[in-house]
Structure 1
């Protein structure tokens, strides 16, 4: 259906628009991260020598930041010892020295904490051993020392992973260097001299490295790596191989294991790693490296050491004793267990202490007497204050804006910037940007929100299931959020899967996607009366055009499309005039990649969007709650120049929006606290392989030891 009058109006619309948005005013970007607002992680430790019933779980990190991926150094270099105060050095027993990743203000750092405890007994005097019966914590003394972060790297934002001290050097993963290829991971291993700050890249520029592990001697570093073939989009297992190289400079790099991840050294000639077997179970394997002679896949023998029947992954090793994260059939939680390679016996570690909490990524103390890991702080799966808006540091040179992670899906700002509409399945909500005035404005299952720029309090959304076929019943509705009745006005009537409404800057029209032709294309309809007041088809073809956003000056509509490879799931960003002319590509993630959810800046000069252009930043199984390919938040000029990455993490960032006001970069808490640890584990660990496939396929993995 096409109205000639509407077509003529649209033909000149973008030239005649009087509302051209702002100029150089400060603004705000908010985005959603799947599950991240519930990651109240701290690092804990348990002794390996006590029965679980007598073990005391000690919290090592501050209970405030998001703290994870720890490491117990065997000793501290002089440059770090000199930075510790005398009381830490003079106590009558050694404190815990912990190197770990901490996320503060949305940016990752590596910290050293020196932690020691006062006992509840003995008059409050320091116990000589944390293993004594009365060593339950009453006093915690902590010294925090930043090792590598934004301040130490000249303003670079980066994601760090599995940090390790080797003498005066810190070995870690960072994502601050753009390889210049879409969908290629930015993850690389670096070495930073803590005294001088001198940093050396140890990963070749043509590959991506994850999960570095330094051998007990410090001579070798092992990594999970993939090369020039790049990422194939798998979010369960990356298909990495294990390489080793000299820690001092990255030289003598050689592949020693095909198909493996998360390496851990038992000694300088024994590596443990995980892989998902053909029988469907994640298992830990052992690789024995030849001590003398040339290294290579052919010279390294491997064998499976954990049996089928349970998932075991992210190993840590102390000679032939392993600490592994497990998911056993019938359990909803990851737990840390000890596994004796020689006897093949498992010993539960965390389940007797905190049975209904996920425990991730174990690591041993140098003498093997303690195992560390991270989990959500609190009792059970924890309660605590969650944030409505969490500030995220960024280094984009222009334009000037604050960046926040928002605790809700599909956020959008009201025209004056005072309120945010969002979706929390099921239902649509509105909240003031300071966290006050929260109200539910619709009980319907909805996705995508957009405010009318002229009619106060009117919010458009899509009612119906998301990720649905072209024939699914989804409709555009308007909600007056200031009307006590909050009745929905249905705007689409003649088609299926109508979604992602975006109003024109004068408030007269709405662009949206619809599957009414059998394919998802873009249409424009009357904003007040809906499609009965006039309908114009903007795009046409056997592909999916979706996630559209109208520019503030009315000249352009940005949208995501798989038109270059229909049905492949690969989406790029395009621009088109409202009259259907001027189509051009703005961003392409890479082969098979995704660029989605574009949103114009208030002055129309930039577009924020989510994309997997930066590939993967960490092994997926080392994190919980990954349902789709990773996404990071990027901005680009509307002419297609100056692509800039804003977020660096291993989460799924998405549905960004750009607001017209500047919100000071300060965290804003929900007034009622909220559930701090409600995330789920990786969904593929919820499915146990069938016994038939397990029995039939064991031979396809390396043999179990006898």
Structure 2
């Protein structure tokens, strides 16, 4: 190891770091809390809306849009089930005995993330019975609603999972769930299940070792089609999964066969015809039709596929109904718009009919679905602050996890950290700067206004927070400095601890408050260094790691024995990071966990008792088609915990977002959401690679196709 310090001082540093004091081991409670950040998640709240497929000119289109879901949390990916008195089911039993209305209700099955966990709900919204005859656009009045949780944590015997794209077949609900671990790194946990709603009996329809997404049940209920990337691990590709379409018998998953290579989001129009989307060779996402042979022998070679939507625009997520074979509903992204809109497409005349653009021209509309009689089209979009509703934003969202003594929260800010006493939280706001608040969300204030990332509290000096001042995700030549901010002084002050213009970031103090480990690019590579916590690097510098790779995101253990960090040392520059630990004197370096060669493990943080770590990883791969979730910046990154020897791996989050920057603090927070008012929402853009495709196509057209 290279040193800038005299040998005696070097030995003193190593000695202090190696032997923590007895006080470091006292006063820790087994009950604690984990906070983490989800990229972009706080910028939107979705509800499901519906419009008629046929408009008349007497009423403005905006007056015909009906908000079905109740304005709580995130509601998406709906399905209009075929429920009628002639086909009785458990759903109809509950609906009619609760509110026998004079007019048939709107039935909706959908996914909701309320209560910190994914649940599939049935809502029946009745017209009539109110002073405005039930034609209100907001359906918040409970008297007009029947709401039944179909499959959630309670219905699935406590198994926490992401659930998605539900369909109803009699009394069976078919859906995606991540409730069973794959057991293989970077292999998705997403599989298709069927739950009998009267008995709760659940069976897995997807073979073990296979990932199935976006299920669609045929009109008769006999077949289910899925987007699958089969056996093998996720490649790590963000833009598209390159899934294939398989079909199998809905009753038991038998008869599984591939019918389409390269396709996703299937939707049946009859027992031998389904639509799907894929990225075409010309770069435009388009909808295709697959015609299956009516003989028993079905294979990719016997299925006829045809492109349906033309180039010049993106078309995704087709929706069909057996009642109307002429039209399909699609979400489109046209070059003259930054938003997705729902349109009806005539497969015979090749004409589009805009549905949502005249209603909400500057809002994204996602994943359409149509009623069995093709009279209504549904979709989800941001509800915003329409209809006079005062919306609330979750500063802290309680997340259901399998941990009994640890409360887990999604925080509206990145790089959170707990104060040593566990009574305050520091985090980085997307508006820039460091904010501090109490555990209940009160006392929120900005303590630093510059561009920063990462926070860590000094364990000894009250009110001192370390951070990285400068742009994140920057090169080795970008100037970033480690600073300390004193937030409890009468006047806020900060102190620069590094100098020289290198990329210095991710500070973490030793448990005795004397030293700070951080990553620096001063050698031309991002390695780990240790400096004095008060006077910074001018008081001397100890180089902890050395090599032509990136060592970063260091965190010091509570007992002072270990420093955990992420590194790409096995494949420098690849973006692949594994989790390592090393003693503060530079000895006993060991790899603790990797997703797999090529995978990502980042942001390790020790538990208060020093026996476990929390981190983010792509170990569970993806849980949904990324193109169907453009507001999700990445399709990978879940929160995990494990013991220091790499055993006891537990997945805490189940979603299709990018979860990251976790922290683990000594206070057990009450498992309730913390809200604050907001003025606007939905500050996200569609998938960035779509704009790149459009620009490329435009340039080629201007250059005569050269």
Normalising by structure 2, what TM-score? 0.93
User: Any conservation in 1 of the 2:454–2:506 contact (CA below 8 Å)?
Assistant: yes
Unaligned runs of 5+ in 2: none
Question: Residues 5 and 311 of structure 1: is their aligned pair in 2 closer, same or farther, counting only changes over 3 Å?
Answer: farther
Task: Please show how residues 104-503 of structure 1 align to structure 2 within 5 Å.
Answer: 104-118=114-128, 124-125=132-133, 141-318=144-321, 319-379=325-385, 384-396=391-403, 400-425=405-430, 426-494=432-500, 496-503=502-509
Alignment correspondent of 1:2: 4
Q: Note the C-alpha offset of 1:14.
A: 4.5
Tell me whether 1:91 sits opposite 2:101 in the alignment.
yes
Whether contact under 8 Å (2:426, 2:455) holds in the other structure is yes
Q: Distance in 2 between matches of 1:694 and 1:280?
A: 12
Q: Cα offset for 1:639?
A: 1.9
Report the Cα distance in structure 1 between the residues aligned to 2:629 and 2:426, rounded to whole angstroms. 29
For each residue in 1:196-249, what CA deviation from the matched residue of structure 2 results, as whole angstroms up to 9, or x when unmatched? Answer: 111111101121000000011111100000122321111211110011111111
2:579 corresponds to which residue? Answer: 573
Aligned residue among 637, 649, 661 for 1:643: 649
- Is the Cα contact below 8 Å between 2:177 and 2:191 reproduced in 1? yes
- Indicate if the aligned counterparts of 2:33 and 2:668 stay in contact, CA closer than 8 A: yes
1:31 matched to 2:36? The reply is yes
For the residues of structure 1 that align with 2:264 and 2:446, how far apart are their CA atoms?
45
Cα contact 1:119–1:137 (8 A) shared by 2: no
Offset, 1:293: 3.9
1:113–1:142 CA contact under 8 A, matched in 2: yes
| Alignment partners' CA distance in 2, 1:507 and 1:125 | 66
Counterparts of 1:305 and 1:61, CA distance in 2: 32
Any idea what the Cα deviations from partners look like across 1:167-206, whole Å, max 9, x if unmatched? Answer: 1111000101111111110000001111111111110112
Q: How far did 1:9 drift?
A: 2.6
Q: Per the alignment, in what secondary structure is the counterpart of residue 660 of structure 2?
A: strand
TM-score where L is the length of structure 1: 0.93
Aligned equivalents of 2:192, 2:701: Cα separation in 1: 39
Q: Taking structure 1 as reference, are residues 360 and 40 closer, same or farther at Cα in structure 2, changes over 3 Å only? A: same
- Unmatched 5+ residue regions in structure 1? 700-706
Residue 123 of structure 2: SS of its match in structure 1? strand
Tell me, what secondary structure is at the counterpart of 2:144? strand
Q: CA deviation at 1:78?
A: 2.6
Q: Residue 155 of structure 2 aligns to a residue in which SS? A: helix
- Specify which of 65, 72, 75 is matched with residue 57 of structure 1: 65
> Per-residue deviation at 1:691?
3.2
Count of residues in correspondence between the two structures: 687
Name the stretch that deviates more: 281-290 or 19-28: 19-28
Residue in structure 2 matched with residue 595 of structure 1 by the alignment: 601
Q: Structure 1 residues 6 and 295, CA, compared in 2 at 3 Å: closer, same or farther?
A: farther
Q: Is the Cα contact below 8 Å between 1:383 and 1:675 reproduced in 2?
A: no
Alignment match of 2:678 (pick from 664, 673, 677): 673
- Distance (whole Å) between structure 1 residues aligned to residue 104 and residue 631 of structure 2: 37
Q: Which of 516, 520, 531 is matched with 2:522 structurally?
A: 516
Inter-partner Cα distance in structure 2 for 1:374 and 1:629: 19
The answer to whether the Cα contact below 8 Å between 1:279 and 1:693 also exists between their aligned partners in 2 is no
SS in 1 for 2:258: strand
CA distance in 2, matches of 1:36, 1:440: 21
- After superposition, the CA RMSD in angstroms is 2.3
Find the counterpart in structure 1 of residue 568 from structure 2. Answer: 562
Q: Is the 8 A contact 2:635 2:656 kept in 1?
A: no
